[in-house]
């Protein structure tokens, strides 16, 4: 069981934001006949291929969207980017299908069945309509998915026996070939395979013979491997204008899932995403969303984007939502580690990202260390949190110095007992502000303080530990 086929019925209607509770239809690129309809429209008595005028007479509330082939290809590529977390060999089968080679991934996920279960569960969580088929050959997997023969993966023998029983209409053959076979009295694949191969090629077509050989695995089917783009871009076109920012969260969740799969496959992370909103009667809006530290996980990306969207207001109803990411960082710096310090850094990055998302990028700042040995000059004005800033010196990271100092050292009595000292600091002579101090940790009035003794043997408190 090497191949997994994913069939996304109504991919276009779902990707363009059609409400499943309202009747929607898809028109062909040219013409006035319904190319596809959703389940709500089907309940109103509409059918694919029906003229648009007839459909509106039966269902006056029907909303229609004309097919744009370039958008359909783009949305299928986004599904392929999402599927990259399950297979490295993906081939597109326009307009609504994907082939995944899964035999090489079986050990990673435990088995092909477990891989299929995880994939279908994630698709279900995003409310995607998905039919899948697992088989030994690509065509068998495609037939199983399009006809929804099995609710879960089964054995190679069962798949082939079901193929033999398949009717001619289930083989996804062109209409003219189906008509030829019906005139010959052939109703199933098993009857077709009883014909000699030479008769099939001469009396019917060489293409049909090649199709049957590929279906049986006697001839290799050439599949072009999908090559992901160097940047990530996804978009959704709304049939009905979105007037509130909460209406953007559902399509944004699907986009971030595709982005997470894109990043994981390439072992990358990102520190910013760019959201573009198109409006009908005014210029587009651009919402850059930045993170304090690079992220790649879907749950965290959604958490950070959702909180930043809550702080913004729509200037006008939205007709199209686009998500674009162009800058990436290597993921090896983001991987979890068993070392306690590395785990602590990962927790700090997560905390900083969430604080910045809730409070705003300008409300979260960090100390910017300087090279001066004097504590009061050792850090400049706190700057906006930036992963590119130099890390804090070791004496701060190991809590040997307090992060926050008093504005000026204050005189204090001689501590009864000193700890962690002395740390001698003699500097500032080049600015005529020379200091000569011995620093200690000591308890003063019930607080753990950072104190020093100067060269006149006077004691001062310079800061407190938390």
The domain that holds 320 is classified in CATH as 3.30.1490.100
Do 26 and 151 lie in a common domain?
yes
Whether 73 is covered by a domain: the verdict is yes
Do 266 and 396 lie in a common domain?
no
Q: How many CB atoms lie within 10 A of CB 255?
A: 26
Chain-centroid distance of CA 119 in Å reads: 14
Residues of the domain holding 424: 375-464
Do 12 and 137 lie in a common domain?
yes
Q: Of 112, 158, 152, 117, nearest to 1 (Cα)?
A: 112
CA distance 245 to 289: 15
CA distance 300 to 323: 16
Domain final residue pick, 334, 364, 389: 334
Helix 156-164 and helix 138-146, axial crossing angle in degrees, nearest 10: 70
Cα 125 to Cα 64, 196, 254: the distances in Å are 26, 48, 10
Chain-centroid distance of CA 31 in Å reads: 36
Whether 211 is covered by a domain: the verdict is no
DSSP assignment string, 402-457: -SSEEEEEEE-PPPSSEEEEEEEEEE-GGGT--EEEEEEEEEETTEEEEEEEETTS
Identify the pLDDT of residue 390: 46
Q: List the end-to-end C-alpha distance of the chain, in Å, as a whole number.
A: 60
Report if pTM > 0.75: no
Cα 296 to Cα 100, 236, 346: the distances in Å are 23, 21, 13
Whether 182 is covered by a domain: the verdict is no
Do 10 and 93 lie in a common domain?
yes
| Averaged pLDDT of the chain | 85
Segments of 326-404 assigned E as strands: 329-330, 365-369, 379-384
Do 380 and 330 lie in a common domain?
no
Q: How many CB atoms lie within 10 A of CB 31?
A: 12
Domain final residue pick, 164, 197, 216: 164
CA angle at 202 for the pair 198 and 206, rounded to the nearest 5°: 85
Residue 199's H or E segment, with its range, is: helix 197-199
- Give how many domains the chain has, as a whole number: 3
Q: Is the peptide bond before 315 cis (omega within 30 degrees of 0)?
A: no
Segments of 19-150 assigned E as strands: 24-27, 34-37, 63-66, 90-93, 97-101, 131-135
Which stretches in the chain have pLDDT values below 70?
17, 332-346, 361, 366-369, 371, 379-399
Whether 228 is covered by a domain: the verdict is no
Do 147 and 265 lie in a common domain?
no
Residue 293's H or E segment, with its range, is: strand 285-295
Domain final residue pick, 305, 334, 363: 334
CA distance 383 to 403: 14
* Model pLDDT for residues 426-440, shown as the tens digit of each residue: 887 777 778 889 999
Do 414 and 325 lie in a common domain?
no
Cα 85 to Cα 163, 261, 267, 355, 417: the distances in Å are 30, 5, 11, 29, 59
The answer to whether the CB of 455 falls within 8 A of the CB of 439 is no
Identify the pLDDT of residue 392: 52
Chain-centroid distance of CA 197 in Å reads: 47
- Which pairs count as long-range contacts for 444-449, CB under 8 Å and 24+ apart, including other chains? 444/412, 444/413, 444/415, 449/412, 449/415
Whether 46 is covered by a domain: the verdict is yes
């Amino acid at each position: 069981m090497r191949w997994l086929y994913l069939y996304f019925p109504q991919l276009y209607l779902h990707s363009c934001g059609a409400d499943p509770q309202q009747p929607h239809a898809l028109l062909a690129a040219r013409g006035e006949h319904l190319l596809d309809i959703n389940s709500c429209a089907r309940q109103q008595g509409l059918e694919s291929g029906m003229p648009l005028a007839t459909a509106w007479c039966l269902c006056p509330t029907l909303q229609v969207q004309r097919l744009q082939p370039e958008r359909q290809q783009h949305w299928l590529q986004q599904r392929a980017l999402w599927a990259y977390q399950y297979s490295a060999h993906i081939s597109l089968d326009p307009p609504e299908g994907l082939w995944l080679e899964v035999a090489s991934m079986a050990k990673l996920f435990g088995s092909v069945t477990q891989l299929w279960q995880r994939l279908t569960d994630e698709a279900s969580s995003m409310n995607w309509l998905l039919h899948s088929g697992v088989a030994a050959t690509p065509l068998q997997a495609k037939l199983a998915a399009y006809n929804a023969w099995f609710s879960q993966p089964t054995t190679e023998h069962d798949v082939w026996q079901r193929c033999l029983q398949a009717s001619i209409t289930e083989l996804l053959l062109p209409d003219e070939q189906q008509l030829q076979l019906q005139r010959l009295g052939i109703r199933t694949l098993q009857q077709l395979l009883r014909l000699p191969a030479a008769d099939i090629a001469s009396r019917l077509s060489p293409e049909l013979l090649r199709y049957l050989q590929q279906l049986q695995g006697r001839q290799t089917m050439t599949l072009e491997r999908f090559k992901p783009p160097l940047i990530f871009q996804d978009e959704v076109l709304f049939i009905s204008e979105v007037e509130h920012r909460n209406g953007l969260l559902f399509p944004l969740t699907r986009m971030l899932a595709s982005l997470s799969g894109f990043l994981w496959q390439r072992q990358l992370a990102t520190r910013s995403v760019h959201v573009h909103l198109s409006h009908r009667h005014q210029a587009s809006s651009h919402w850059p969303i930045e993170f304090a530290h690079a992220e790649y996980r879907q749950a965290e990306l959604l958490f950070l984007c959702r909180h930043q969207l809550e702080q913004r207001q729509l200037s006008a109803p939205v007709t199209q939502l686009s998500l674009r990411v162009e800058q990436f960082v290597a993921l090896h710096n983001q991987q979890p580690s068993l070392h306690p310090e590395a785990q602590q850094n990962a927790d700090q990055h997560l905390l900083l990202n969430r604080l910045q998302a809730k409070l705003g990028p300008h409300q979260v700042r960090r100390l910017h260390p300087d090279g001066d040995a004097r504590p009061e000059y050792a850090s400049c004005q706190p700057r906006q949190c930036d992963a590119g800033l130099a890390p804090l010196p070791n004496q701060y990271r190991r809590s040997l110095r307090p992060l926050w100092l008093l504005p000026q050292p204050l005189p204090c009595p001689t501590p009864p007992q000193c700890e962690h000292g002395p740390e001698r600091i003699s500097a500032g002579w080049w600015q005529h502000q020379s200091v000569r101090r011995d620093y200690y940790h000591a308890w003063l009035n019930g607080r753990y303080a950072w104190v020093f003794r100067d060269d006149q043997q006077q004691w001062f408190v310079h800061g407190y530990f938390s």
